[in-house]
Amino acid sequence: MDYASMPMRLTTHRFAGYCGLVAGHASADEPEIAYELLRADHGNGYATEAARATVDAAAGTGRRQLWATVRSWNEQSFRVLDKIGFTRTERISTDDFGATIWCTIGLRTS
């Protein structure tokens, strides 16, 4: 179930991807951030900008922690998460497609 999934649109009004919070592998109280961009839009900072805005919005809801799960090979997603303050945990899930690393961030609530 999506809790706050927003499509990303560029100034050209073209769809670029999405970013939002989902229960995913986590929970409604401590949801996962999820984002995906069209390959043509990689490397422009759009995912970082959208993820940062999503983290800020989540903090405004009173949540104290967010999660992200990233396939071990996805260095681009790790870079995005590193830039906005997520840290990798020792928790690793595995399935038929390989290893998934769990990352987390504590939120400051006002």
Res. 9 pLDDT band, cuts 50 70 90: low
Dump pLDDT digits (tens) for 74-94.
999 999 999 999 999 999 999
- 73, 51 Cβ separation under 8 angstroms: no
DSSP code of residue 89: E
Bridge pairing between strands 6-9 and 15-22: antiparallel
Summarised one tens digit per residue, pLDDT across range 13-66 is 678 889 999 988 888 899 999 999 888 888 888 899 999 999 999 999 989 999
Which pLDDT score is estimated for 12? 65
Q: How many CB atoms lie within 10 A of CB 32?
A: 20
The type of residue at 60 is G
